[in-house]
Amino acid sequence: MAWIQNQFGEVLLLKQSQGNKFWTLPGGKMRMRESLVGALKREVMEETGLKIHSIVLSHVFDRSAKGGLTFLFRAQIKGRDDTLFPRLNEIETAKFSASMLKPSSPSLQYFWKRVHGLASDSHFRAN
């Protein structure tokens, strides 16, 4: 998933058009033989039409109940950020927001708390 902020500190959020219709961050699944960064660039482009760069791993969400990990990368947009438009049928709308919109996906809730220092990552410590 990508944490992308505009010049005002607002975060890019996407609203899903299917299922629970959660607000979430751009991102998705990797393809076979695709790198994490390559998958993130592709997913952000597919979902928003934006190119990203300066990609840095920020947090990891251990979703053991779902059998997976979700990675959060901080990224910057190449070029202008005022030309957002959803490009896939799975995305209803995209917008920059200073607050977490609801209903929010579990991953957005998790990462929002960590980026804003509202939760500890103590569950990553070995017992």
In the chain, what are the domain boundaries?
2-124
12-37 residues labelled b (16+ CB within 10 A) or e (exposed): bbbbbeeeeebbbbbbeeeeeeeeee
Whether CATH 3.90.79.10 fits 2-124? yes
Q: Express each pLDDT in 31-56 by its tens digit.
A: 999 999 999 999 999 898 899 999 99
- Mind listing the pLDDT tens digit for each residue in 10-37? 999 999 999 999 999 999 999 999 999 9
**Helix intervals (H) in the chain:** 36-48, 106-115
The confidence score (pLDDT) of residue 123 equals 47
Count CA within 13 A, CB hemisphere, residue 33: 0
* pTM score, whole prediction: 0.88
Strand partners, 96: 12
User: Is the separation of the CB atoms in 91 and 84 below 8 Å?
Assistant: no
CA atoms of 31 and 92, how far apart (whole Å): 23
